Chain A
Amino acid sequence: MSAHHSIELAAARPDFAAIAAWIPQGASVLDLGCGDGSLLRYLKETRHVRGYGVEISDENIVACIRNDVNVIQGDLDSGLSGFESNAFDYVLLSQTLQATRHTEALVQEMLRVGREGIVSFPNFGHWKARLQVLRGHMPVSDELPYQWYDTPNVHLCTLRDFENFCADLHVQILDRRVMTNGGGVKLLPNLLGSMAVYRFRRAG
């Protein structure tokens, strides 16, 4: 049952498979904004990680417990003060970066608490988004399903923006996977990729 569940999840969330591919068996993982715990459950089943999630919504706390994953209720925008330095191998931020208020502080906190960070986010530089802006509209797509007035996304960025941001924060990017419709994108990633996953650590 759980193997079947994992296959279904990987199909529904291509970033899950990309993230799992980077995580060795038995690693310790902190998933920030872990939602209903699907990613953690997937990593538990496929990578046997020792994992914890952080989530703010009451509904998701219940969903995580139902999914048999550890979850700590808390607000990412008030930092990770409850977590010790270097407590985890990986700190994940899956499809949440763009919805955090103190993005810069949070990425730094990720690398205080974890050895490496992994983020996935929708690429605002994807050609469909650019086209919609060119036509005079805020982009709405599978990756960006919200209208401008009800979106939780306050810090959208393109791949190039994120890479510049990392350079400014002295964060070293170790790996990158760019995707569209679940498939990998090699050519013109900032134009043709609708979503990206990065793995990074403190530089030097």
Chain B
Amino acid sequence: MSNSAGIVSAQRATFDTPLVFRSGAVLPSYELVYETYGTLNDAKSNAILICHALSGNHHVAGRYANDPENVGWWDNMVGPGKPVDTGKFFVIGLNNLGGCHGSTGPSSLNPETGQPYGTGFPVVTVEDWVESQARLADRLGIKQFAAVMGGSLGGMQALQWSLSFPERVRHVLVIAAAPHLTAENIAFNDVARNAILTDPDFHGGNFYQHGVVPTRGLRLARMLGHITYLSDDAMADKFGRSLRSGKLGYNYGIEFEIESYLRYQGDKFAAYFDANTYLLMTKALDYFDPARACDDNLDKAFADARADFLVVSFTTDWRFAPERSREIVSALLHNRRNVSYAEISSAHGHDSFLMQHEHYHNVMRVYLERIATEFSA
């Protein structure tokens, strides 16, 4: 039997109740695009929400009939018999508000002006996303998720679920995340944003009207990001000092394999990702800091959390280092929440959370099997 979620298709939900953002901005109406895998049980108790990271989207698993090469970004994790077993769970992936894969975002037309929102789209926070996700859950008749899970920025959303809607989530799976970004992390994001903002083709965010895309800025932003998602060892293993032509050219062309790889990744990304969405996503990362409203005390921030937690980090992840996950664990321990923490030995840096890794997947599988016993018993 195949363990792929198979042929999937995206769905769309329209919301006409205005959404008030943390910034005070209001979006009168919006659309969210999402996919589901598996079957919602009669009690509607087996739903799992998967939150995506910076460049992710609603296509979590399976493939499209008309685009079979386009496999979901977490297909190794989600599917029949996989750790997130779609034979047991009803799994929802959505494109976050402000995204560029179908949900309302900067590249969507603002009905009030007939033009793309551009930088006029509200700066969105993790809290705003969770609010919009809860409305999608309402639409699907899900009062409480069996679990909300995600990696990186997705893990931050999962954490926020336990704070915004403590009664609506039984388990929170936080992978390769942090309770807030460090100064170094914000600095990386700022350089990436500057690459985009200073690209002459950016046009203050209104590049759509000029028929151009700030490709150079997006490419640089992605190249920088990509470096930080890998580890020194992983890069050394994969590329070392290999030269494409085998000899030095004494010029500024693409000589080292790592250069070639980064430019390829940059070009690929710039061809499909919206520059304004990239700006929004990095801001959401920078702003996330649940302790901020509690005198910078993370223990206090988690006082109202009711969920059980699984926290997972990766040894070579220096962008969201294990110490940052342990801060989350420590705050959960302080509040006497049920929590388990696994620190996975992996060479692949921050990107590890997306990789096929036997022990990591075992941890996820066993934890999720335990969740499944709660509603199948």
Contacts and interface: CB of A to CB of B under 8 A. Distances in A.
Interface of A: 28, 50, 52, 58, 61-62, 64-66, 68, 70-74, 82-84, 87
A61 B311 CA distance: 12
B363 interface: yes
Contact of B329 (A64, A66, A82): A82
Interface in B300-317: 310
**Residue of B330, B333, B363 with most chain A CB atoms under a 10 A cut-off:** B333
A70 B338 CA distance: 6
Contact of B341 (A58, A66, A73): A73
Contacts of A66: 366, 369-370
B336 A64 contact: no
A169 B298 CA distance: 34
Interface of B: 310, 326, 329-330, 333-334, 336, 338-345, 359, 362-363, 366-367, 369-370
Contacts of B362: 62
A58 B367 contact: no
Chain A interface SS verdict (over half) = mixed
A200 to B, nearest CB: 23
Nearest to A64: B340
A58 B334 contact: no
**Residue of B310, B329, B344, B369 with most chain A CB atoms under a 10 A cut-off:** B329
A72 B363 contact: no
Across chains A and B, which 10 residue pairs bring their CB atoms closest together, nearest first?
A72-B341, A65-B366, A73-B343, A66-B366, A71-B340, A61-B342, A58-B359, A62-B362, A65-B367, A73-B342
Contacts of A58: 342, 344-345, 359
A65 B329 contact: no
A74 B343 CA distance: 8
B330 A82 contact: yes
Nearest to B327: A82
Contacts of B367: 65
Contacts of A68: 370
A91 B111 CA distance: 62
